[in-house]
């Protein structure tokens, strides 16, 4: 089953006394497989936050259909199975984290569990501040509390809009670990982040949204990798001529070569020939682009 299924989604924001409006989404078709870690990326103003609000039932689409967890995002039973962290998180400054989680649990229809809430605060790293007023929290601590609220009740779908905003680099590692644990548990993760390196580390599928349209979508390795091309590094002294004769092309720093291999069998056969020529393998990796380069090349092609 698909966790999110969107067809022909359009959203136009209209202003008073004007005949025309602003098209935030222009016929988006997108399917997010259940249990996947899905990243939505794109430039500012692409429509990413509007898309998230549409799949959560926060804004009403101008056209198209939206199904989340097999039902309507406006169904309270569906909403209770979704954990959401908004981009702009507003928290009650006079409350404590414990009181906030207690209230969120009641609003989602869950039985408040003080021990479970404290365990959540421990998991996101703010248990020592559990009974302090939120008004004294840093931005990073507020983000962690928002993540704890999203995790309440072990949701089937986590929708996170810029979840590591304001969190320091070590904290990002902690958040990444939590998200990976949730995906292994079977949770579907839908992530919107400008931090493309974080998206690349967490997500297995990505969609590129620009000007209200999906330009590319698919498995991350399919979008970013160079197909059957591999980068191979040999120890100094490798015979470039002999390696060229068996399909290895020299390129870049000394010892770096590239080879085409359609599958693991072909790759190992090529490496066997290289070793037979006396070359010593030091490093092997797929040759491709990082997510930032994929986004740049996609936007360039669409221009």
User: Which one has a higher pLDDT value, 285 or 137?
Assistant: 137
Mean pLDDT within 142-151: 96
Q: Are residues 201 and 216 in the same domain?
A: yes
Q: For residue 254, what pLDDT is reported?
A: 77
Per DSSP, the three-state class of 294 is helix
| Mean pLDDT of all residues in 186-214 | 93
The string of DSSP letters for 63-109 reads EEEEEETTB-TT-HHHHTTEEEE-SS----TTSBHHHHHHHHHHHTT
Q: Are residues 115 and 238 in the same domain?
A: no
Alpha-carbon distance of 232 to 142, in angstroms, equals 44
Are both 203 and 217 inside the same structural domain?
Answer: yes
- Are 188 and 291 in the same domain? no
Amino acid 261: pLDDT: 86
H helical segments located in 108-168: 114-123, 139-151
Percent of the chain with pLDDT strictly greater than 90: 72
Tens of pLDDT, residues 160-178? 999 988 899 999 999 999 9
CB 50 within 8 A of CB 11: yes
- Sequential DSSP letters for 232-259: EEE-TT--HHHHHHTT-EE-SSTTEEEE
| Domain end point (choices 221, 243, 269) | 221
Does residue 135 share a domain with residue 257? no
Across residues 100-119, what is the average pLDDT? 92
* Contact in structure between 86 and 161 (CB atoms under 8 Å): yes
So what's the pLDDT on residue 223? Answer: 81
124: pLDDT strictly greater than 90: yes
Mean pLDDT of the region 285-301: 78
User: Is 192 in contact with 40 (CB distance < 8 Å)?
Assistant: yes
One domain for residues 25 and 80 = yes
Give the chain's end-to-end CA distance (angstroms, integer): 35
Averaged pLDDT, 87-100 = 93
Residue ending a domain, choose from 192, 221, 250: 221
Residues 152 and 244 in one domain: no
State pLDDT tens for residues 4-54. 999 999 999 987 767 778 899 999 999 999 999 999 999 999 999 999 999
Whether residues 236 and 256 fall in one domain: yes
Q: What is the pLDDT of residues 215-252, one digit of tens each?
A: 999 988 778 765 577 889 999 989 999 999 999 998 77
Count the neighbouring beta carbons within 10 Å of the beta carbon of residue 75. 14
Residues 19 and 111 reside in one and the same domain:
yes
Domain stops at, among 179, 202, 221: 221
User: By C-alpha distance, which of 206, 161, 198, 207 is closest to 180?
Assistant: 198
Task: Please state, in angstroms and rounded to a whole number, the distance separating the CA atoms of residues 128 and 133.
Answer: 12
At 46, list the tokens.
């692409």
Whether residues 63 and 198 share a domain: the answer is yes
Q: How far apart are CA 292 and CA 199, in angstroms?
A: 10
pLDDT grade for 190, boundaries at 50, 70 and 90: very high
Verify that 31 and 105 share a domain, yes or no.
yes
Task: Please tell me the predicted confidence (pLDDT) of residue 287.
Answer: 75
**Least confident segment among 60-69, 96-105, 108-117, 282-291:** 282-291
Across the chain, mean pLDDT equals: 91
- In whole angstroms, what is the distance from residue 104 CA to residue 96 CA? 12
Q: What CATH code is carried by the domain that includes residue 256?
A: 3.30.70
pLDDT of the residue at 295: 84
Number of domains into which the chain is organized:
2
The range of the structural domain enclosing residue 279 comes to 226-302
- What was the pLDDT predicted at 185? 95
Res 56: pLDDT: 95
Nearest-angstrom CA–CA distance, 180 and 122: 17
Q: What is the average pLDDT across 55-75?
A: 95
The CATH number of residue 140's host domain is: 3.40.50.300
C-alpha distances in Å from residue 276, one per residue of 229, 237, 241: 21, 14, 13
Residues 200 and 257 in one domain: no
- Portion of the chain with pLDDT greater than 70, in percent: 97
């Amino acid at each position: 089953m698909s966790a999110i299924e969107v067809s022909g989604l359009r959203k136009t924001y209209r202003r008073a006394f004007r005949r025309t409006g602003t098209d935030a989404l222009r016929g988006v078709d997108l399917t997010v497989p259940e249990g996947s870690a899905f990243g939505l990326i794109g430039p500012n103003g692409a429509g990413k936050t509007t898309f998230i609000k549409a799949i959560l039932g926060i804004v009403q689409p101008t056209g198209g259909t939206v199904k989340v967890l097999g039902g309507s995002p406006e169904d309270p039973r569906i909403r209770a199975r979704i954990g959401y962290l908004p981009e702009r998180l507003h928290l009650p400054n006079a409350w404590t984290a414990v009181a906030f989680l207690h209230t969120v649990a009641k609003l989602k229809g869950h039985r408040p569990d003080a021990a479970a809430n404290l365990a959540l605060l421990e998991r996101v790293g703010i248990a020592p501040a559990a009974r302090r007023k939120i008004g004294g929290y840093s931005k990073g601590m507020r983000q962690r509390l928002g993540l704890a609220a999203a995790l309440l009740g072990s949701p089937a779908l986590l929708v996170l809009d810029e979840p590591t905003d304001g969190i320091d680099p070590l904290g990002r590692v902690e958040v990444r670990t939590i998200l990976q644990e949730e995906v292994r548990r079977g949770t579907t993760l839908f992530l919107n982040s400008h931090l493309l390196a974080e998206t690349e580390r967490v997500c297995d599928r990505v969609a590129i949204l620009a000007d209200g349209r999906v330009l590319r979508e698919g498995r991350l390795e399919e979008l970013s990798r160079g197909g059957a091309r591999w980068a191979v590094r040999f120890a100094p002294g490798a015979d470039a001529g002999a390696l060229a004769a068996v399909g290895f092309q020299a390129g870049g720093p000394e010892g770096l070569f590239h080879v085409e291999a359609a599958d693991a069998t072909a790759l190992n056969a090529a490496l066997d020939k290289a070793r037979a020529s006396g070359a010593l393998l030091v490093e092997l990796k797929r040759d491709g682009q990082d997510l930032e380069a994929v986004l740049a090349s996609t936007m360039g092609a669409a221009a």
